[in-house]
Structure 1
Amino acid sequence: MALSDDYNYDFWLLDLDGTLIDVEWSYTREVFDAVGDRIGREFTDREATILWNGLTGSRDRQLREWGIEPTSFWAAFHAEEDPLVRAEQTFLHEDAAFVADLEVPVGLVTHCQQFLADPVLDSVGIRDWFDGIVCCTEETGWKPDPGPVEQAMREIDVAGNGHRGVLAGDGSNDVGAAWNAGLDAIHVERIGHDRRGRCVLGDYRVTSFDELQ
C-alpha cells in the first residue's frame, strides 16, 4: 500500500492490541469469567469490553470507579491469561499489512506484557516488522505517559534528531502518548464511537489503515 504524502513520516510507532491485532471474543469472555471467580466479582460483557479495549482511557481509574482494587485485578488477570492460548486466539487485521512495507524505522509500544506479547508476535508472524519493541511496565510508565514512547524512539535510533514521527493506536491513551512525546497521532477506530461512548480526537482519524492511501 502506497501512503499518501500526508503520512510520509520519518518513523512510525504503533500500538498492538486493537490496532494491529485482536483476539476472539470467546477468549476475552473466558478470561473475565475466570478473573471474576478469583476476585469474587462478575463482569458483564460491556464491562469486559471496556476493560479489554480501554474504552474509557485509564483502566485503573475505571476499576476504581467500579470499586475494584487495580493491583488485585491485574494479579488475577495475568494469572489467568495463558500466552499460548491467547496467541492461538489472536488474529491480524488485514489492513495492518502496510506496516511490513514501511521503509523507515518502525517501533511497537504496547501495554501487552512481554510474556504475552512474545508468543502473539510470533504466532501472527509480525515480529520482524519492528526495529524496536517496548512492552510498558511500571518502570517505563504507561501511555499516555510519554516515557514508553520515548524509550521506543531511542530503541529505533530516532530520539532527539528532529525527525517527524507518528504513533498510531486505537485508544485515547495512544493519542495522548503521541502528543505528550511531540508526535502526530493517528486514531484507528476499530470499535466505533457509538460502542465506545465517545469520540477520540487525533491528528488523523480512520477506521482502517487502508484510508491512509
Structure 2
Amino acid sequence: MVSEYDFWLLDLDGTLVDVEWSYTRGVFDRVGDRLGHEFSDREAEIIWNGLTGSRDYQLREWGIDPGAFWDAFHAEEDPLVRAEQTYLHDDAAFVADLDEPVGLVTHCQEFLCEPVLDELDIHDWFDAKLCCTEQTGWKPDPAPVEYVMNELGVGYNGHQGVLAGDGACDVGAAWNAGIDAIHVERIGHERRGRCVLGDYRVQSFDELEFPQ
C-alpha cells in the first residue's frame, strides 16, 4: 500500500500521457530527412522513450550529433498537432483527486508542454511545474526535483514525498533528491531491455492502494 505522502511529483510523457505512434513516426521521418539518417522504428522508440538512459549518449553511439538532432527535432515538432495527438492514460485520473500538493517535473519542453496541458485540460492538476532545460538540469539530477519541491513549499523540512515516472531517470532523480520513487512501466521489460527498480513498481497506477 502506498504510504500517505505529504506531496506528489510526476513526470508527464510516458507517465500521465502518451502520443499516438503515427505522430512519433512522422517526426522521426522528417528529422531523419534533415540529418541524412533513416531512423528505424526501434531507434525512434528508444529515443522517444529514453529506453537506454541518456538520449544524447545513445545518439552519439549511433554517430549522430545530439545538438544537431535536438535542433532538428524541435524544429519538426508542431505543438498543436502534438497536443491533438496526445492522450491521457485512464489510470492517471487519480492525480486530480490528490489532496496533497502536486508538482510536475518533465523533460517535455515548455512550448510543447503547455499546449498538451491545455488540450487535455489538466493544468489545474499541478500546483507547480518545471520543464527541464540545460539551465535547470535534467533528471536524474535532483536539481529540477528540488526546485519544484521548493515551489510547493515542502523542501527538506520533514515532508515525505514521492515522484512517479516511467523512466530510470525519474527514479534516479527521486532518490537523488531524497524522496521515494514509483516506476510505472508503460512499455514492458522486454521492449525496454531491462528492469527499472523503484520503491514501487507498477504497470498501472490502478495497482496503487491509497489510504482511506
TM-score, normalised to structure 1, is 0.97
What percent of counterpart residues are identical?
78
Tell me, in whole angstroms, the C-alpha distance in 1 between the residues paired with 2:186 and 2:103: 21
Tell me, in whole angstroms, the C-alpha distance in 1 between the residues paired with 2:90 and 2:168: 22
Runs ≥4 residues deviating over 3 A = none
1:64 aligns with 2:48: no
Tell me, in whole angstroms, the C-alpha distance in 2 between the residues paired with 1:126 and 1:7: 25
Show the counterpart of 2:110: 114
Show the counterpart of 1:34: 30
Show the counterpart of 1:24: 20
SS of corresponding position for 2:24: helix
Query: Superposed, which structure 2 residues align to 1:1-213 within 5 Å?
Result: 4=1, 6-213=2-209
Residue 161 of structure 1: how far off its partner (Å): 1.4
Structure 2: unaligned runs, 5 residues or longer: none
- How many corresponding residue pairs? 209
Tell me, in whole angstroms, the C-alpha distance in 2 between the residues paired with 1:170 and 1:193: 12
Residue 167 of structure 1: how far off its partner (Å): 0.3
Tell me, in whole angstroms, the C-alpha distance in 2 between the residues paired with 1:156 and 1:63: 35
Residue 154 of structure 1: how far off its partner (Å): 1.0
Residue 86 of structure 1: how far off its partner (Å): 0.1
SS of corresponding position for 1:7: coil
Contact 1:186–1:206 (CA<8 Å) still a contact in 2?
yes
Residue 7 of structure 1: how far off its partner (Å): 3.2
SS of corresponding position for 2:100: coil
Tell me, in whole angstroms, the C-alpha distance in 2 between the residues paired with 1:87 and 1:157: 30
One-letter code aligned to 1:185: A
Structure 1: unaligned runs, 5 residues or longer: none
